[in-house]
Structure 1
Amino acid sequence: MASLLRNQIARQAAAINGSTRRGLRAEGLASVLAIGTANPPNCVRQEDYADYYFRVTKSEHLCDDLKDKLKRICNKSAISKRYFHHTEELLGRHPELTSRKCPSLDTRQDILGTSVPELAAAAAAKAIAEWGRPATEITDLVVSSFSGAHMPGVDFHLANLLGLRPSVRRTMLYMNGCFGGSAALRVAKDIAENNRGARVLVASADLTLVFFRAPDETHADTETLVMQALFGDGAGAVVVGADPVSGERPEFEMVSASQTTMPESGHVAQGRIREDGFVFHPSKEMPSLVRENIERCVADALAPTPMGAFTSWNELFWVVHPGGPAILDSLEAGLGLDPRKLEASRRVLREYGNMSGPSVIFVLDELRRQQEEMNEMGVMVGLGPGLTVETMALRATSRPTN
């Protein structure tokens, strides 16, 4: 009798625990409820960048061949302009930022410790305003950045700048590079779906000051010129939540999210923080790795999802990190995409350059303006060091009805 009673109590306890757990979770999938983006005011056109760069780094004494090399890289970049927090005046006040012989990490950290949260706050404020509810209703904050490292971090300062509640649950993602924004959205999806009523603010902000430096006089450092020619500054923010309430306007349902690493790719995109800032080593192998592996990565990520049957990748819309023209061309070729499918990514690259983590949020923002022309189902692809592929299946929920 005692044994039967214990078993009955255990079954009742399990049922109660199961019911309690289900009651704490959302009923539906997480959705994108609002988007905001921001850039610093300093804008430099790509056609002027080589002259600008050699002037602000006080490198005009170097031979013309080096400047010509940067001009060729800029001409092939498919970028028309970029935005930067650092200005000619700021660099003039801190000559250590452009000298390869002086330690500059302290100066970079001091500047980034303030400027990164401020730019993230500008984007987040726009997202919250579009969402239409008070900032104090944000329950969770997920922040991504590779620009500097502080404790307390960007998340702490951003919460204070926005006036979030002291009880907001903060998650800080550092040093994920170009897939940082996608990773933050994946974390936000998990939080929103496993906590009934949660409203998650995602913010991703990156500033190129972390790796800005003068050219190498030996001509051996082409990597520096590539980095200076492609990257720009920006911040993106997204409000994420499940089970939308009155007044909320879901834009995209976040169907599933996954992460995978391309085989034998750990050496192709490496970076380290040094005394002269963040030193990143891109590799010429990246485009070929993307072309050869992207279809398998995306297919494996979508296989267990309820995406429905489709016979061509062109039946989906695409939100792809604009890492550069070679990366976009390789992904397009690897998936056999119609060139129009990556128009949003190419437009963001053209208008802002590669902003690292925030870029994919800019592409999502750009794509939603074209919703009358896009398919119902789509895929977000974040690419970054590792070589890491973040994949999220999306469903457009605010498409106009015929």
Structure 2
Amino acid sequence: MNKCERPNQVRNLLKICICRGNRNADGAAIDIHFPGGQLHGEDGDGGGGEKGAARGGSGDNNGHRHRQSACVDQITYPDYYFRITNSDHMTELKAKFKRICEKSMIKKRYMHITEEILKENANMCAYMAPSLDARQKMVAEEVPKLGKEAAQKAIKEWGQPKSKITHLIVCSTTCVDMPGIDYRLINLLGLNPSVKRFMMYQQGCFAGGTVLRLAKDISENNKGSRTLVVCSEMILSTFHGLDETHFDNLVGQSLFGDGASAVIIGAGPIPETERPLFELVSAAQTLLPDSFGAIEGHLREVGLTFHLQKNVPSIISENIGQILKDAFGPLGITDWNSIFCIAHPGGPSILDRVEVQLGLKPKKLQATRRVLSEYGNMSSASVLFILDLMRKASVENGLSTTGEGLEWGVLFGFGPGLTVETLVLHSISTSNCN
């Protein structure tokens, strides 16, 4: 496994700026602030993101000495994965895994989990060996720290005193201790102990939309509130060795990576101080018909196991058209190429099917595909990475709005259930982002 060449390289952080928020049923502006939106990759540039340093390396600022985040090259990952899991003798399965990785559209991913960690915890390299205690000990320590880094960048770009934060929403697929990551972040960030906390566990990939929907509800019902949203995800719980009868495990091992994203959402931005990026207009959640068991996750003594059915791309693509019709019907929008699209990067097959089903132009999902390529699937953190990349690229390319020059857009996440979160967004003039 390759190490990130840049010293002090952070594992995929997102620091978004501020965003103006929604309109409620009365047309009142509900401001959603996205602070902190910086993507940190191997090149330090997430499509316009400024270069920045963070953790990793000897004596890093997280107190974890001599640990370094691994920057994983997707081409060489199959050789590493089969070697570290003592599976090189499974030649046919290895050839299959190489093909999966080649078709994944991923160039690299970032992982806290290193060869050193795996050698110290050999059961994590097996498919069904007890390892939950070791995994939970690590995620309980590392997931809050990764979330803290994203939150700090968000608060810094927001530019307001952290004492103005009134609510905290935290999402992670791992780390189920009590008190949870939300409690840890209050202390790590030095937030007011009276901040109202919401902790979301075990939601999976659709939760990047869920946190925005919940923050929207808070903003609409709590005048003057500012909600800090943090999604922090690591694959420490989901890394497993091989089982020749469970091929869906191979797909998961080829897709997932670490990442954390943070955003601040609120209503009524302070003029000349809080510069919105997008408005949240509406939000919805739905369960897709006949999809039970299509995506499942089970937390057991072996860690968190994921199970994916082959028909996931077709189930999503067959339903996405009606979902968009329901979301944009009130606006009279039926041309999906006239809106910007932020889709959870669940994998190339899903994106390809959605693109065909909706008749999208080739570049319509370019921001999603870029994040998938540079970071892999970071579960709930992914869609905020895409949102950040889009607004930065829109400014750099001289487009008129943060939504690639378009006025309206959609953000949707999908995951276990199958559950789909759909948010209608309204972009902001890029002249307001400088």
TM-score (norm 2): 0.82
Paired residue type of 1:309: G
Please, which of 301, 310, 314 is the counterpart of residue 337 of structure 2?
A: 314
Q: CA deviation at 1:311?
A: 4.2
Q: CA deviation at 1:26?
A: 11
Paired residue type of 1:347: R
Q: Distance in 1 between matches of 2:234 and 2:352?
A: 25
Residues 204, 269 of structure 1: alpha-carbon distance in 2 compared, 3 angstrom cutoff: same
Matched, 1:273 2:274: no
User: Who is 1:44 aligned against?
Assistant: 72
Matched, 1:325 2:348: yes
Q: CA deviation at 1:56?
A: 2.1
Q: Structure 2 stretches of 5 or more lacking a match?
A: 1-25, 41-54, 56-68
User: Who is 1:35 aligned against?
Assistant: 36
Q: Distance in 2 between matches of 1:394 and 1:333?
A: 22
Please, which of 106, 111, 115 is the counterpart of residue 142 of structure 2?
A: 115
Q: Distance in 1 between matches of 2:30 and 2:110?
A: 35
CA contact (8 A) 2:316 2:354 kept: yes
User: Who is 2:281 aligned against?
Assistant: 255
User: Who is 2:393 aligned against?
Assistant: 370
Q: Distance in 2 between matches of 1:89 and 1:346?
A: 31
Q: CA deviation at 1:27?
A: 4.9
Q: CA deviation at 1:374?
A: 2.7
User: Who is 2:379 aligned against?
Assistant: 356
CA contact (8 A) 2:73 2:108 kept: yes
Deviation by residue 1:303-347 (Cα, 9 ceiling, x = unmatched): 34xxx3334111100111110001111111221111211000000
CA contact (8 A) 2:34 2:262 kept: no
TM-score (norm 1): 0.89
Structure 2 matches for 1:166-315, cutoff 5 A? 166-216=193-243, 219-246=244-271, 247-304=273-330, 308-315=331-338
CA contact (8 A) 2:39 2:385 kept: no
User: Who is 1:393 aligned against?
Assistant: 424
CA contact (8 A) 2:411 2:422 kept: yes
Q: Which has the larger radius of gyration?
A: 1
Residues 310, 100 of structure 1: alpha-carbon distance in 2 compared, 3 angstrom cutoff: closer
- Percent of aligned pairs with the same residue? 49
Q: Structure 1 stretches of 5 or more lacking a match?
A: 1-24
CA RMSD after TM alignment: 1.7
More helix, by proportion: 1
User: Who is 2:414 aligned against?
Assistant: 383
Q: Distance in 1 between matches of 2:97 and 2:269?
A: 49
Q: Distance in 1 between matches of 2:372 and 2:291?
A: 24
Give the total of aligned pairs.
371
CA contact (8 A) 2:342 2:411 kept: yes
Q: CA deviation at 1:36?
A: 3.0
Q: Distance in 2 between matches of 1:37 and 1:208?
A: 21
